[in-house]
Each structure stands twice: as C-alpha cells, then as structure tokens.
Amino acid sequence: MGKIYENQTITQGTLLEAGMYGVEYFECTIERCNLFEQQLNNCIFSNCTFKDCDLSMCKLNNTQMNDIRFENCKLMGVDFSRCPGFLFEVNFIDCILDFCSFEKLKMANTSFRKCSMKGVDLVGTQLQNSLFHQVNLEEAIFTNTNLKEANLSTAYNFTISPTQNNIKKAVFSENNLSGLLHEFGISIV
C-alpha cells in the first residue's frame, strides 16, 4: 500500500501529491476535488465524506468503500460494481449518479437523497430497507433487484417490474404507482 491519511481534510493538491494508487484514507473529508476520469484503483476509503467533488467516469477497480458519504458530488458513469463487496457501504445526498453501475452489490440500508439516478444499473443489487428520497430513477435498470422494505414513496420516473424484482413490503405513493404497472399495460388516470 501507499500513503495513509487519517482524520484529515483532503483537497485537490493533497490528492494529486499522494498519487491515486493504493492510498488509504481513514475518517477523512475529501473536498472540492476534480477526479474526472482518474484511476483510484486499489485504494481504501473508510468512514470518509466526499463533498463537492467530481468523480465522474473515475475507475474504482478493487477500491474499498467502507461507510462513505457523498454530498453534492457528480459521479456520472462510475462502476461501483468494481469495488469489493465486503464492507461496501455508501450513502448519497444531492448527487448526480447518472449511468452508474451498482450491479450485484449488497447495499442494504443505503440512503439516496435528492439524487439523479438516470440510467443506473441496479441489476441483481441488494437494496432492501434502502431509502430513495426525491430520486429521479428515469431509465434505471431494475432486474432481480431486492427492494424488500425499501422506501420509494418520493422517487419518480421509475419503471420497476413487480414480477422480476422483490418489492415485498416496499413503500410507494399513489403518485408513483404507474411505474409498477407499466409492464401490464395498465394506465392510471
């Protein structure tokens, strides 16, 4: 492993100085960093917060994300499925997650608040007890997704097949039921 940072505020200059391969960050705040298309391979992020960062199209091959909070970040096209599943825990507030992949990840109890998740790949993802608060799920891909007891009451623009996904005890509002009935050709007026 490379350098280790603990209990620090990391800015663009610090990140570039440390390099982006094999670095460990524990209980750090990473602020205002432009990591567009960067390689963050074989890193460890544990109990960290990313604020106002652009991580769009960055590579996370074998990068651990343990209890990570993203606030007001742009993460378009990030393939989180490349992260090891062991201890994988992330939460998002006011983030752009369009075209990200969370395929087959175990993400129970994940919180997505006021996020854009257009075209997100959630195939085989374990999202039981997760919260989708004011989330745009336009063209998000739900197949074999576990949404048991998830709260999608304020989510919108989604199409979720009740026959191809586990939605047992999930919470929806009357306003977004059409996203569940699309495959049946049923219209709600």
pLDDT digits (tens, 9 = 90+) for 44-66: 999 999 999 999 999 999 999 99
Region 90-96 average pLDDT: 98
Q: What is the tens place of the pLDDT at every residue in 140-184?
A: 999 999 999 999 999 999 999 999 999 999 999 988 777 776 676
Look at residues 44, 62, 94 and tell me which one is the last residue of a structural domain.
94
Question: In terms of DSSP H, where are the helices of 8-127?
Answer: 12-18
Look at residues 94, 126, 161 and tell me which one is the last residue of a structural domain.
94
CA angle 136, 142, 148 (to 5 degrees): 95
What's the confidence (pLDDT) of residue 189? Answer: 62
pTM for the model: 0.92
In a shared domain, residues 2 and 55: yes
Look at residues 77, 94, 111 and tell me which one is the last residue of a structural domain.
94
CA 173 from chain center: how many Å?
23
Give the up-direction half-sphere exposure of residue 15: CA atoms within 13 A in the CB hemisphere.
23
In a shared domain, residues 102 and 85: no
In a shared domain, residues 6 and 42: yes
DSSP secondary structure letter of residue 171: B
In terms of residue numbers, what domain contains 73? Answer: 1-94
Please report, rounded to a whole number, the percentage of residues in the chain having pLDDT higher than 70.
93
How far apart CA 5 and CA 2 sit, in angstroms, is 10
CB pairs under 8 A, 24+ apart, for 112-121? 121/81
In a shared domain, residues 119 and 175: yes
In a shared domain, residues 90 and 109: no
The number of domains in the chain is 2
How far apart CA 48 and CA 32 sit, in angstroms, is 14
In a shared domain, residues 111 and 189: yes
CATH number, residue 115? 2.160.20.80
Q: What is the tens place of the pLDDT at every residue in 8-36?
A: 998 887 666 555 788 899 999 999 999 99
In a shared domain, residues 82 and 118: no
How far apart CA 56 and CA 163 sit, in angstroms, is 33
What's the confidence (pLDDT) of residue 85? Answer: 84
How far apart CA 153 and CA 175 sit, in angstroms, is 8
How far apart CA 65 and CA 69 sit, in angstroms, is 10
